[in-house]
Each structure stands twice: as structure tokens, then as C-alpha cells.
Structure 1
């Protein structure tokens, strides 16, 4: 009984009420005056993309480079989490990491992103003719950039090092404000306005980034059910899909990382491997392999120029800056989640898993799905692009499946993977929000379930308002990412300093 009372006291009610209240107010305002809210979000998005875009591009690139330097230096041997052996096996660990970013949009963006860039060549490569084999390589490379090395590096490399040191080695709470501990010291935890603000903006950004994919899942699976079984794609159908998803996420979040989240992640990655294998065998196998190798080479060759491209501001706002804002918004919670599952790992293992292995797997997944679409579009113009142009992203996956033998079975597989993917995002994010509010890596079970249910409830209400509101909420992610990016910035110098300090403590380098 005393233990329960202690857990209840641990909940930061001020942060809980403000962050949850902001989401509720957003929905209420959208119901009463959707146009005004949409205009405000659009104007804020334009401002943020204009004044923070270049900063984000440099931030993510430098974060990736510093991570690689740490990983392949003597500091890579530093062991994190204050235990000698990892708590999770390699497959389970990497599966849970993969299901963080990839789950937020790995199905619909893997199909639609490459197709968009194939039909309309990115501005950096305007000399390449659209809709040709030559256009396939920059199309895939652009998708690799948006879901590749720098994107993953923002989620849990340098920030994870800072957080794991402060939490597991120094005993401070597992909260976004803890990123500021090396700068502000202990006072960041005691009635600190800056500390509370760090927690609140991180929760709001994460919630917005999670609610968007949940709402979009309702649209995507609703379209898939109609295409496969003729189930009417109505608001009721979409709502039932989301309710089903939220029930899965709630059960998983309630059982914790050791059971539900870990099990769901393993199932998810296993399903993706099966789908990739079947698509490789039944689809254009040699084309996919050649496209992956060629696009990977193209990506590496143009990595710097793509990462720092600044000419077409409108295009950047719709693509690169939007994705960077989305992933930066996820950054603090992802770092918390990866910190929780990475105890006993070395800095080298952490950086290689998050910044290299996960992006390469992600790139191959994009090539199998998006590359298959490009192949059939080249063979028969309009086979995939017609569905994309007329019905949007939800239709792209189904249009690709229509071209492959056993397409119906694969379409069903993609519907299942979509649900499990987003359920994984919802449960891991509800877990990390609950961790933020409690400051412990074992938050109250009801707290975890509440946030999973709230994500679903807001997504359903947004679908009731209209499909455009989901897009508006995703733009809202970019606005909330502005303060979050400032929260991530100190890790550029704090992580190397902490790595050096821990290397001395662990006798990896000599003490002076």
C-alpha cells in the first residue's frame, strides 16, 4: 500500500494537466473553429521551417558525425547503464529499436515516398528525367535520407548517452529535463520552470507525432479493408480500427517493456521479414537488389549535398524539414525508450545499432516496397501512380500489391503489419510519456494505459472533424519541435564529455 502511494506521489500533476490539457484544448478549438486553427498551425509551420530548418539540418548531421567518432574511438568501449551484461538479447533489442521510427510511418511512406520522388525528381537532381530508370536512384536515395542515418541518429545516440549517465549512474529521474542536468545541475529537478517546460513540450510533440500516425492508420486500414473485403470505408469503420489498435496498445503498455512491448516488437519485425522475403521472391527480385545497391551508393555519394540542401524552401518544408521536425519531436521520448532497453550496452553497440544497422534495414525495407512500386510503374505507367494521385498514400500499398502474384495475401499481411506497427508506436510512446510524468522507468500501469487511450480518443475525434486535421496535427509536430531541438542541442558537447568521464571511471583511459 505504501509502495502504491509512493508511485501516485511520483506523478508530476502539473506537467500532466498542462500537457494533456493542451491536447484537449487543441481538439476543442478545432471543433469550434477548424479554419482558424488550421491557419494558425500553417503560419506557425511556415515560420518554424524558415527559421529553424537550417539549424535542424546541421544539428542532425553533426549529431550523426559525433556519434560515429565516439563509436569508433576508444570511448566506444564505455559500458552504459551500470550493469555488465545487456538485459535484452541482440535480436529483441534491435527489434525494439527498429519499431521506434519505422513504426511511425514505415508502411505508407515506404510505398508513397519513393513513388513521389520518382514521378517528380527532387530539386537537387532536376537534371535527371522524371519517370525513367535514372530517376529511380535519386528517388530511393531521397527516401533513404529522410529515414536514414541522420534521422535515426536524432532518436537515441548522443542524447541516450547523456540520459543513461544521469539516470543510471547518477540516480536522477528519467525525464526530458534530465538532458539539461549537465548544464544546470540538480536545480533543474526542483520546481524548475525550464525543467517543466522541457517535459511539457516533449510530451506534446510526442503526442502529436503519435496521434497523427494513429489517425492515418484508420484511413489506411479502412481503405485496405474496402479494397480487399469490400468493407465500407466510413468514419465508423476507421473508428473501430483505432479502438482495436488502442486496446492492443493498452494491453501491451500495461504489461510493460519486458512482456508486451518486447513481444509486440518481435512479432512486428518477424512479420516485416516474412513480407520482405515473399515480396523479394514473388516480385522483381534482381531489380530490387540492383536498385538497393545503386541507390545506397547514390545516397552515400550525395549524402552531404542532400543533407545540407537549402535552395527550394517550399520543397524542403514539405519534405526534409517536415521529417526532421517530426523526428526531433520524437527525440526525447525515443532517447528515454532506448535508454530503458539498452542497459549493459557499450557506446559502440548503441551507435552502430541505432545509427547504422537500423537505417540500413529501414532503407532495404523502403527499397523492397517502394522499389517494387517503381518497377511496375516503369513497366506500366499509371499502375501505381494513378492510385497515388487519386486516392493518396493509403492507396499506394494496395496498388503495388495488385501487381504482384498472391497480392491479396500480401495486402492482408500489410494491413496486419500496419496495425501492429502503429500499436508498437502507441504503446512505447504511452510508456515513455508515463515515465516522464513519474520519473521512474517503472511507471504506474494506469498512467501508461491512460495515455494509450488518450492517443486513440484524440485520433478518433480528429477523424470526426475531417482528414485534413490529421495533416494539420502533423504540421503541429514541426512547431513543437522548435523548443525540443534546443533541448537536444547540448548533447553535442555533453555526450563526448560524459563518455570521457566514464572511460576514466571504467579504466578505459588513464586517469590524470
Structure 2
């Protein structure tokens, strides 16, 4: 087996070379032709959102229907692993890890600012009213609730099923074996993996850009350091050095400690804001918002009543989640071996989304409550600069001098944790699915992520966050098509698997879908 591993790495260097080459070209062209790169991004954004914004909504609707179908169908009993495999983690450990996966830079960044922004400029009706507030909370629940985690569940299912049950490499392309057979080892399969790499790079770059912008805003809020694109770039460079060093040094205990700190600090902030931000108001707001969200779930999924608003918000979010599907999907897949498909889809879709809704209800509810008490202080801050939302909220609460610094620390921990995990996934995708990729490869992708995020910040200038959103939408578009085809491939594999288990499959079909492991052994 030791002699085969280098050969397995050799066959996948095409994915690495092409991905790294395109990333390098992108960085160089962006630095040399900054204005031109920005113009190209804007043009691509206009083309995709104008002509295909509806497709993002339809695609995510299909993912939800597909997920529900898996849960209620006989396929839900199929294990992510061999029939006699047991779960690697207890239910409590598994649930804890899924909850941990639901926390990140995005929630910290948007949980105050987004509700206030929709309140001030709603997609329908008059802003600044009680009706606008209720609509705002419903929209934020919609963007951060069930939909993103269904996307992650589909992405994770494609990885977990073909890795743990069929013994194929931990690659996105493996999920297409039922449709294209051994072509997953050729140009088609490599193209799929390359698209996954770029969806991950730009999806994570968007998150890193948001996180670094919020850190810069915090430094400005607390110490008066101006939050310029250069300041943000320096923050990204420092954070990149930290998580890259952690990655190549194998500081697993340090990263686990950081993850534990993130979870407990996040919970502490939620309790603190709930207690001092108006607990009764928050509970009333949560109850009303949850009811409105569930009541309008189907209609909101396909709503295009305000095309410009939908393209700027919902389409961006769906693209962002799709871009994160290889990354988060890999995480939820790796901790779910031995679970049935029904268990996997229900848990991954509902547990983290439930945590996200509670988080948003606390932060958003407290923001509206304290905004009213302070005569509009929070909406004034968000209206001037929406990256300041969290600090504007904390400023209305006790111990602001301490909580503001802890907030920056929480963002840093989320930043480093997400980037470290994404670096691992990128290395895995470009090393033939090696679940323990080379440290140098991990380090290289860590540096690449930092450089690409800095380039996007510099290209965008004062509109950096808009460029980050645009990059995410553009990178996610081809991967959205990949995920739609993936659903067809998964369904075909599950049908053959179920028929085989029931003794209904014929020999020809068994040979066609058959053992993907033989294909893997053949290429070694």
C-alpha cells in the first residue's frame, strides 16, 4: 500500500496544476489590471443575475424537494457506509459537531446588520414600520434557515455515500460515477473537481473578506484605526499567516482549542445579549418570526416580486451557500459515517439551521429592541456602515469595553477556523481525495486563499464587499449546475443500491453501477 500512494498522488496532479495555475493567473491579472478586473466582475454579475437569477431559486427549490424525497423514501434506510458499519460518534457528539458547523463569520457579520437593512429598505412596502420589521426578520430567517443547510446536506451526501459505501476517493467527481463511469478519472471528472476548488476558494474568500472588514471596523470603533482596504488587507495577511502556520505545523490541539473557544464564546454572547437585550421582546419576536417564516416558506423560495432586490440578496446568499457546499459538505460527511441517509439529511438540515435561527432571533430581536430604546442609534450606525452592526448593538449593552474586544476575538477565531478547514479541503480536492493531504500542499492553498481575498479587496476598493459578493455568485454558477446533475447521479446510485438489497437488480445493472472500488483499484 505504501508504494501505491505516490502513484495515486501523481494521477491527480492535473487538478492541482490547473487549479493553482488559474489561481495564479487570476492574482497576477487582478494586480496588473485592477480596474479591468473589477469591470469584468461587474459584467459577469450583470449577465448571470439578469439572465439566470431565477435559476438559483429554482435549483435550491429542487434541492429541498430532493432532500425531502430522500427522507420519506425507502432510500432513507441506506447507510453511509457498509450495512454493518456503526456510527463513529455518539448522538451527542455528532449533534455537537453539527451545531459547531452552524457557527461562522457570516452569522457574526450579518445577524444584526441584515435585519436592520431590510427594516430600512424592505423589498416591498414602506421602510421603518412595524410591518417592515416583521418582514425583515422573516427574510433573515429565510436566508439563514433551512435552505443553506439543505444545500450542504446534498453536497455532503454525495461525498459520504460514495466514499463510505462505495469506497471511492473523497472527491466531488466520485459522485458522478453512476452517470459517467470511469470517465470520473478523466477530463470530465477533473473538471468537476476543479470547479469545486474554485467554488470553495471564492466562497471562503467572501467570508474572509466579511470577517476582516468587521475586524477592521471594530478596530476603528474602539481605537480609531481607519478601516481602509489596505488595513483590511493587512488583517487578512496576518490571519493568513496564523492559520497557515497552524496548518503546516500540525497544531491540531491548538485548532481544537480554538474551535472550543468559538463555541463557548458564541454561546456566552447569545446568553449575554438575550439577558440584557430584552429577553421577553426577543422571545415574542422569535415566535412571530418563526411562524411567518414557516407560513411563507414555499412562496418565499420562488419569490421574484422584486428582481433587483432578489438578485442582490437571495441570489447572492444561494450562490454563497452553493460555493460553500464542497467545504461544509466535506465536514458534515466526515463526521457522519455509519448514519443512515434519513438520519443524515434530517440532522444536517434541521439542527444547524435551528441553531442559526435562535442566534438570529437573539441578535436581531435585541437589535430592534435596543434600537427603539436608543431612538434609532443602531439603525443610524448600520445605515452609515453596515459592517458596524454588531458593535453598535454591543454599545447599547453593559461592559462594552470588554465585549467589543471579545467580539473581535470571536471573529478572529471564526476566521482562523474556517480558513484552516477550507485549506484542508482544497488540499484534499487537489490530491486525489487524500484525507490526510501533504502539509506543504495545505500551506500553499492557505497562502493562495489569503492572496485571492486580498486581491478581491484591493480590486473592489471602497466597494470591496460588493466585489466579494459578485465573485461568489460567478464562481458558484457552474458548481450549481454540477450539484443539479449530482442529484440525478445520487438518485441513480441509490436506486441500484436499494434494488440490489431487495434482490431486484439484474446482473447487467449490477455490473454497470457495481463496485466503484474496483475502478479505484484499477487506476492505482
TM-score by length of 2: 0.87
1:360 corresponds to 2:354: yes
Matched-pair contact (CA < 8 Å) for 2:175–2:490: no
Q: Deviations over 1:186-211 (max 9, x none)?
A: 2221xx22222211222112111112
State the 1:263 CA deviation.
Answer: 4.7
5 Å-filtered alignment, 1:135-174, equals: 135-155=132-152, 157-174=153-170
SS in 2 for 1:107: helix
5 Å-filtered alignment, 1:209-288, equals: 209-231=203-225, 233=227, 238-254=232-248, 263-288=257-282
Q: Give the number of equivalent residue pairs.
A: 502
Matched-pair contact (CA < 8 Å) for 1:70–1:348: yes
1:66 corresponds to 2:52: no
Aligned to 1:321: 315
SS in 1 for 2:372: helix
Within 2, Cα distance between the matches of 1:346 and 1:395? Answer: 43
5 Å-filtered alignment, 1:49-88, equals: 49-82=49-82, 84-88=85-89
1:416 corresponds to 2:412: no
Aligned to 2:38: 38
State the 1:309 CA deviation.
Answer: 0.7
Within 1, Cα distance between the matches of 2:114 and 2:320? Answer: 15
From the superposition, tell whether residues 346 and 317 of structure 1 become closer, same or farther in structure 2 (CA, over 3 Å): same
Aligned to 1:185: 181
From the superposition, tell whether residues 242 and 144 of structure 1 become closer, same or farther in structure 2 (CA, over 3 Å): same
Flag structure 2 segments of 5+ consecutive residues without an equivalent. Answer: 506-524
Aligned to 1:383: 377
From the superposition, tell whether residues 286 and 499 of structure 1 become closer, same or farther in structure 2 (CA, over 3 Å): farther
Aligned to 1:115: 116
SS in 2 for 1:310: coil
1:431 equivalent among 424, 446, 462: 424
Aligned to 2:390: 397
From the superposition, tell whether residues 289 and 334 of structure 1 become closer, same or farther in structure 2 (CA, over 3 Å): same
Point out the more displaced range, 244-253 or 141-150.
244-253
State the 1:343 CA deviation.
Answer: 1.2
Q: Deviations over 1:441-496 (max 9, x none)?
A: 22112212221222123333444553434531331221121210111012333334
TM-score by length of 1: 0.89
Within 2, Cα distance between the matches of 1:62 and 1:9? Answer: 36
Matched-pair contact (CA < 8 Å) for 2:98–2:351: no
Point out the more displaced range, 461-470 or 315-324.
461-470
Flag structure 1 segments of 5+ consecutive residues without an equivalent. Answer: none
Within 2, Cα distance between the matches of 1:159 and 1:476? Answer: 20
Point out the more displaced range, 444-453 or 328-337.
328-337
1:197 corresponds to 2:186: no
Aligned to 1:22: 22
From the superposition, tell whether residues 4 and 109 of structure 1 become closer, same or farther in structure 2 (CA, over 3 Å): farther
State the 1:498 CA deviation.
Answer: 3.6
Point out the more displaced range, 312-321 or 66-75.
66-75
Matched-pair contact (CA < 8 Å) for 2:206–2:472: no
State the 1:164 CA deviation.
Answer: 2.0
SS in 1 for 2:430: helix
Aligned to 2:400: 407
Within 2, Cα distance between the matches of 1:296 and 1:65? Answer: 21
